[in-house]
Structure formats: structure tokens, C-alpha cells
């Protein structure tokens, strides 16, 4: 009897403590949520319908894909950080990860490989490739991740001098290049459809300047990137490609060329955009990609 009474006394004594602790915990969580809500958000993620998604949803979808096209804003630091996070998340056991980027041109592949395998150092890489002004802050972390974890990194873009040839002289003139030059290009002649949305948009934006050669100079880049993705597609894994958002939004550009050669490919597209208010996706951004990452328009730029 005494033992049972002692237990009851202890229980009645301890219960208020636990209730108070739970209440304090709930108050702390509420305070934390309130502070998070009051702080500026660096980004939000939406699906193509404009519904909010999590970063984990992107990872889950990307792991089921053959190709992931991460369309970026070149000077946006938040997007580059998320690219690195996604790269790490896709590096899983029993699945190969191949990386590739618009920011390296096909004739950069040799020095890029030499940097990856330790033959040359960073200064030699920079001296022997056409790296972008924000290379060290935005793209070197991706390259170094490939280097440190023994992943292939593919230079996918056409050498800019050949895109310039198309712009100034037409796409048919590529046939007159040397065989050595053609080794850096996709197989010729390339397919081209001027009705593809991104090429029509380019013509409208330019007001007709450059004529049909302008979108064709864009198309040769898209075709080259798609060709190099397909050529290096892992048998069991995913090819993660970093490119400007215009090259893959609305499943045009690179996507059109990938599906032109292989209609069975599972492709996930990610788009990046900036808005003054990021808490709701603007209507004109809905549908541009499977996932749309929105960052504040006043975010500090990397260059």
C-alpha cells in the first residue's frame, strides 16, 4: 500500500514538470517558426503547375531520370549552391553519375580531363580553356567535386567560333570545315525546326536582326550539347547537365534534340527564375520546367 502511494505521489509531482516541458517545447517551436517566417527566404521551389515543392522532391525525381537538365541563371549564387547540393545528392551507390556543362566547349575536354586526373593544376586549366568570369566561384566547386569523387565531367558546348560561323554565314557552311574541326561538332547536317518555341522567341526578341541564322546559331549549341549528353549517357545512372535556363525551358532546345534522337529518354528539367515576391509562382513561369526554383530579384550577383 505504501509503495503504491509513493508511486502516485511521484507521478503527481513529475506530471506538471512534463506538461511544462512540452509546453515550453511547443512555444520554442512556434517561436522558431515565427522567426523563420519573418526572415527573408532565399528561394522557393515549385512544380510545373505552380504548387510548392521541396528540394527532396527534386532529388527523388532526378534519381529516376536518365538526364537532368539544370537550367540556371548564370550569375545567381543561390542557384549555383543548389546545383552543388543536387550533385552531391545524386552521387549514390550502385548508380553512375556523369556531369556535364554548357560552360565548357568540346575542345576544352582534353585540358579538363587533365585537370580531373591531376596532370595539370588549376592555373593551367584556366590558361588552356575558355573559363567564364565566374568560374572559380560558381563552376569550379562542381568540377572539383567531380575531381575528388572520380566522376566524368563532359564539356558539351560547341566551340564558340563555330557558332559564330553559323551566325555570320549560315548553318550549311559547317559542312566545309575540316574533319579535325568537325570532330568538335555534332554529326552534320543537324536537324532544325524553326517552329520550336525557343527559336521563334529568339527571332521575336531580336526584332528580326540576324534573320534565321540567329536561332540556328542557338540550335547548333543545343544540338551539340544534346549529342555529347547522349554520347556519354551512363548505362545505369544519370547525366546531370548544367546549362542556361533558356536552353531547356519549355522542354525546347536541348530537350528537343535529345528526344529527336531517343524518344524513350526520361528527362527532368529544372528552371531558375527571379521574382520580387517569391511566395507565389508567377503565371508566365508555370509549365516552363518540371521544377522551377525562384529566388528574390534583388539577390546579390556573382559577377
Q: pTM for this one? A: 0.88
Cβ neighbours, 10 Å, residue 259: 14
CA distance 260 to 234: 19
Question: E strands of the chain, at which residues?
Answer: 44-47, 52-53, 67-72, 96-105, 153-157, 237-244, 267-275, 291-296
Among residues of the chain, what percentage have pLDDT more than 70? 91
Between CA 173 and CA 166 the distance in angstroms is: 7
CA distance 26 to 21: 9
**Host H or E run for residue 273:** strand 267-275
Given pLDDT bands bounded at 50, 70 and 90, which one contains residue 208? Answer: low
Q: Which CATH architecture has domain 44-296?
A: 3-Layer(aba) Sandwich (3.40)
Please compute the mean of the pLDDT values over residues 207-228 and round it to a whole number: 90
Q: How far apart are CA 25 and CA 83, in angstroms?
A: 35
The reported pLDDT for the residue numbered 13 is 56
pLDDT tens digits, 164-187:
999 999 999 999 999 999 999 999
- Determine the pLDDT at residue 11: 44
pLDDT(144) > 50: yes
Least confident of 16-30, 107-121, 239-253: 16-30
Query: What are the C-alpha distances in Å from 94 to residues 33, 63, 234?
Result: 38, 12, 12
Residue 21: predicted pLDDT = 60
- 210 with 167: CB under 8 angstroms? yes
| Average per-residue pLDDT for the chain | 92
Least confident span in 19-33, 115-129, 225-239, 275-289:
19-33
The DSSP code for 246 is G
Q: Which residues pair with 270 in a beta bridge?
A: 70, 291
Which positions ≥6 away from 253 have C-beta within 8 Å?
A: 196, 198, 218, 222, 246, 247
Q: What pLDDT score was predicted for residue 41?
A: 87
User: Residues 44-70: pLDDT tens digits?
Assistant: 999 999 999 999 999 999 999 999 999
Give the whole-angstrom CA distance, residue 256 versus residue 268.
Answer: 13
Confidence of residue 9 (pLDDT cuts 50, 70, 90): very low
Going by pLDDT thresholds of 50, 70 and 90, the confidence category of residue 126 is very high
**How far is the C-alpha of 215 from the C-alpha of 206, rounded, in Å?**
10
Q: Percent of the chain at pLDDT above 90?
A: 81
Report the SS3 class of residue 90. Answer: coil
Amino acid at each position: 500500500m505504501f509503495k503504491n502511494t509513493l508511486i502516485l505521489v511521484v507521478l503527481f509531482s513529475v506530471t506538471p514538470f512534463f506538461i511544462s516541458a512540452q509546453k515550453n517545447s511547443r512555444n520554442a517551436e512556434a517561436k522558431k517558426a515565427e522567426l523563420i517566417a519573418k526572415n527573408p527566404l532565399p528561394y522557393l521551389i515549385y512544380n510545373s503547375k505552380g504548387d510548392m515543392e521541396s528540394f527532396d522532391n527534386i532529388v527523388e525525381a532526378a534519381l529516376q531520370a536518365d538526364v537532368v537538365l539544370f537550367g540556371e541563371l548564370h550569375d545567381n549564387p543561390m542557384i549555383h549552391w543548389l546545383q552543388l547540393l543536387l550533385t552531391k545528392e545524386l552521387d549514390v551507390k550502385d548508380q553512375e553519375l556523369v556531369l556535364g556543362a554548357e560552360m565548357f566547349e568540346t575542345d576544352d575536354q582534353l585540358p579538363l580531363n587533365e585537370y580531373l586526373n591531376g596532370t595539370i593544376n588549376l592555373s593551367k586549366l584556366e590558361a588552356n580553356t575558355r573559363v567564364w568570369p565566374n568560374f572559380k566561384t560558381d563552376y569550379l566547386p562542381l568540377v572539383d567535386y567531380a575531381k575528388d569523387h572520380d566522376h566524368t565531367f563532359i564539356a558539351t558546348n560547341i566551340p564558340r567560333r563555330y557558332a559564330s560561323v553559323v551566325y555570320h554565314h549560315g548553318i550549311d557552311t559547317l559542312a566545309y570545315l575540316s574533319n579535325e574541326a568537325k570532330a568538335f561538332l555534332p554529326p552534320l547536317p543537324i536537324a532544325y525546326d524553326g517552329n520550336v518555341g525557343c527559336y521563334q522567341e529568339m527571332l521575336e526578341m531580336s526584332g528580326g536582326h540576324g534573320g534565321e541564322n540567329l536561332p540556328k546559331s542557338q540550335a547548333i549549341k543545343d544540338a551539340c550539347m544534346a549529342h555529347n549528353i547522349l554520347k556519354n549517357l551512363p548505362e545505369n545512372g544519370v547525366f546531370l547537365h548544367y546549362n542556361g535556363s533558356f536552353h531547356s525551358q519549355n522542354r525546347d532546345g536541348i530537350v528537343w534534340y535529345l528526344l529527336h534522337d531517343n524518344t524513350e529518354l526520361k528527362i527532368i528539367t529544372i528552371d531558375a527564375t527571379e521574382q520580387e515576391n517569391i511566395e507565389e509562382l508567377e503565371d508566365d513561369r508555370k509549365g516552363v520546367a518540371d521544377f522551377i526554383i525562384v529566388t528574390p530579384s534583388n539577390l546579390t550577383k556573382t559577377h
